[in-house]
Structures are given as C-alpha cells and as structure tokens.
Structure 1
Amino acid sequence: MEMFEWYMIRATGLAASLLLYLSVIIGLYSQVQKKRKQKVTISLFLHESLANWALYLVIGHVGFLLIDSYISLQWFEVLIPFNTDYKPLPMALGALSFYFLIMTIVTSKVRKKIGYQKWRKLHALNPILYIFVTIHGLLIGTDIQGAVLAAVNILPVILIGGMMLKDKPKLDVTH
C-alpha cells in the first residue's frame, strides 16, 4: 500500500500547489482589472474557490503523510515546524505554508468583521506563503525539475508586471 500513499502525497501536494498558483494569478489579474475599473466578481469568486480547494487538498496531503508507513511521520512532525529529523527545512516550510493558507482563507471569510484595511495587511503576507510553498516543493518534491518550477513561477510575474506597467498613467512632459 506504500505506493498508493506515495502517489497520493505527491498528487495532493502537486494539485494543491497548482490550484494555489492559479489562485494567485487570478487574484493578481483581478487587481489589474480593478485598476482598469472593470468588474471582478467572477475572477474573485474563482480566486477564492481555487484557494479553498487548495486547502482541501493540503489537508488531504497532510492526511496521507500521516498514514504513510514508509516515512512514518507523527502528527507533531508534520504540523509543528522544525520538529522532525526527516528533511526539517522543507517540512517546516510545508507546515508554515499550511498555517499561512489557513490564515489567508479564514481572514478572507471574515474580512468584513476585521475590517478591509486589516485584511489587506494580512493578505499582503501571501507572497510569503507562495515562496514557502515553492521552496517546499523544490526541496522535498521529486516530481518537477527546479528549472521548470522556476520558469512557471517567473512567467506570471513578468505578465502581471507588464499589465501593471501598461496601465501606469503616462507623464505629460510637454508642459
């Protein structure tokens, strides 16, 4: 049964990472659309839905780690950062990513209660989540080559940066 667990650990982690990636891209795109004074209802719904599904898959990822008999991790090794001998840094980044994702989703659900400004400050921490997930995948994953993962992560930054620069107001230097 070890192979099933191994595949499920990889599949849930990779799928969660992909959904988080898509959620980030759509979230950034909706910000560009907002600046252009366009409706963002559908893109924000998709952004939040993808993040929710990423969380469900991360919970599955953690569950499969806990039942895997090959590595035999205890709950505290998976959920408490730096509390394992098995690849401590990538495992810690995975645990911290899990907590960042929970914080992001919970604060998004209660943003009206905590206030928009506080929510924006907390949501601004999400690049840390994304960086942690990416490093976690690079250091512990065996499914994607580093160059591919780097290219996949650099491309959206270039595209979104280009969209934002295109929208910048032009300075009138004739006066």
Structure 2
Amino acid sequence: MNELLWFVSRATGMASIVLLTAVLVLGALTAGRRSRALSQTVVVGLHRSLALGTSAFLLAHIGTAVLETYVSIDWISAFVPFTAGYQPLWVGLGTLAFDIVLAVVATSLLRHRLSRRAWKAVHLTAFALWPLALVHGYAMGTANEPLLRLVPVACAAVGGLALTWRAVARHADQERRQAILTQEWS
C-alpha cells in the first residue's frame, strides 16, 4: 500500500505542475487583453476549470505524500513551510506554493466581495507560486527517473515563453492607452 501511495504522490505531483503551467499560460494569454468576446470567455472558463482541476490533483499529491510513510512529511508540514523531517528546503518550497494556492483560491472564491485591486494583488502572487512549484518538483524528482526531471524543465520552458509573450505583447488598444497616459489631468 505504501508503494502505491508513493507512486500516486509522484503522479499527482507531475499532473499538478503540468496543469499549473497550463493555468499560467491561459492566464498570461488573457491578462489585460480583450480580444474576440467568445474566445476570451472560453479561455477564461478553461483557465478557471483547469485551476480547479489543479487544486484537486494538488490535494491528492499532498494527501498521499503525508500518508505514505517512506519519508517524514506530516500534516503541519503541508501548511507550515520548512518544517518537514524530510528535505525541509525542497518540501518547504512546495508548502509555500501550496499556501499561495490557498490564498489565490480563497480570494477567487470571494472575488465578488473584494475590490478588484485586492483580488489582483493576491492573484499576481501566482507568479511566485509557479516557480516555487517548479523548483520543488525538480528537486524532489527521483534522480533515476528522467521523466520526473524532464516534466518540470518542459513546464519551465513553456511557462517561460508564455510569460515572455505576456511581457512583450501589445494590448489591442495600446495606442489608446498611451494617449490616455500622456493626457494632462486637471
């Protein structure tokens, strides 16, 4: 049974990082851009649905990591960073990422009660969550299993391209935004 939990923990960890990368890519594609209304609605809906799926895989990953007894990770270590008995730095980075996930999910569920500015400030912490999760996944990957090392590297490449595109892409209404910024306000 313990071996099965170990495999499920690794598999759900890999699924989590792949889904998290997909969520990041979709978020980068939609952030601040208003394109065709239907495609925008579909992409935002997919972003939200994949985020929910990511959360489910992440909970399974954490649950199985705590339940399997090969290494010492307890429930406290799932919420309080750097307290694990096994690889406290690398597990702690995963814990930090999970804590950010909790904040992003909570504020997203309460979005209608928060100001846009407050929601966005918390939501932008996902840009810290993603690299933390990547480093956790890479460092905790089993050395003799190349696939467990390759998945975070591939996700880093894909996510890095999406973030680069987000940083350099022009908004559809870039000229209008620039004109507004240069106006004098009385």
The bucket for the TM-score relative to the shorter chain is: 0.7 to 0.9
Q: What residue number does 2:36 align with? A: 38
Q: Residues 55 and 102 of structure 1 are in contact (CA less than 8 Å); yes or no, is this contact kept in structure 2?
A: no
Q: Given the alignment, which residue of 153, 158, 161 partners 2:161?
A: 158
CA distance in 1, matches of 2:166, 2:77: 42
Aligned-pair CA distance for 1:163: 6.6
Q: Distance in 2 between matches of 1:160 and 1:68?
A: 36
Aligned counterparts of 1:167 and 1:130: Cα–Cα separation in 2: 24
Aligned-CA RMSD value: 2.3
Alignment of 1:5-44 (within 5 A): 5-31=5-31, 35-39=33-37, 40-44=40-44
Using the alignment, how far apart are the partners of 1:88 and 1:119 within structure 2?
31
Q: For residue 70 of structure 2, give the secondary structure of its aligned residue in structure 1.
A: coil
- TM-score computed with the length of structure 2 as normaliser: 0.79
Change beyond 3 A, Cα 1:166–1:80 = closer
Residues 119 and 159 of structure 1: CA distance in aligned 2, closer, same or farther (over 3 Å): closer
Query: 1:38 and 1:71, CA in 2 relative to 1: closer, same or farther beyond 3 A?
Result: same
Distance (Å, rounded) in 2 between the aligned partners of 1:72 and 1:18: 25
Correspondences of 1:99-118 after superposition (within 5 Å): 99-118=99-118
Contact 2:90/2:136 (8 A) holds in 1: yes
Q: Hey, what's the Cα distance between the residues in 2 that align with 1:29 and 1:102?
A: 23
In the alignment, the residues of structure 1 paired with residue 86 and residue 2 of structure 2 have an alpha-carbon distance, to the nearest angstrom, of 17
User: Aligned in 2, Cα 1:69/1:152: closer, same or farther, shift over 3 Å?
Assistant: closer
**C-alpha deviation, 1:69, in angstroms:** 2.3
Give unpaired runs (5+ residues) of structure 1: none
TM-score by length of 1: 0.84
Matched, 1:124 2:105: no
Q: Quick check: 1:13–1:57 contact (8 Å CA) kept in 2?
A: yes
Paired with 1:67 and 1:19, the residues of 2 have a C-alpha distance of 23
Q: Identify the match of residue 149 of structure 2 among 132, 145, 149.
A: 145
Alpha-carbon offset, residue 120 of structure 1: 1.0
Code of the aligned partner of 2:35: K
Contact 1:16 1:58 in 2 (8 A): yes
Q: Identity percentage over the alignment?
A: 26
Q: Match of 1:134, SS?
A: helix
**Distance apart, 1:36 and its partner CA:** 4.5
Deviations 1:37-77 (A, max 9, x none): 33211111111111111111111111111221222432223
What is the deviation of 1:131?
Answer: 1.0
**What secondary structure does 1:45 align onto?**
helix
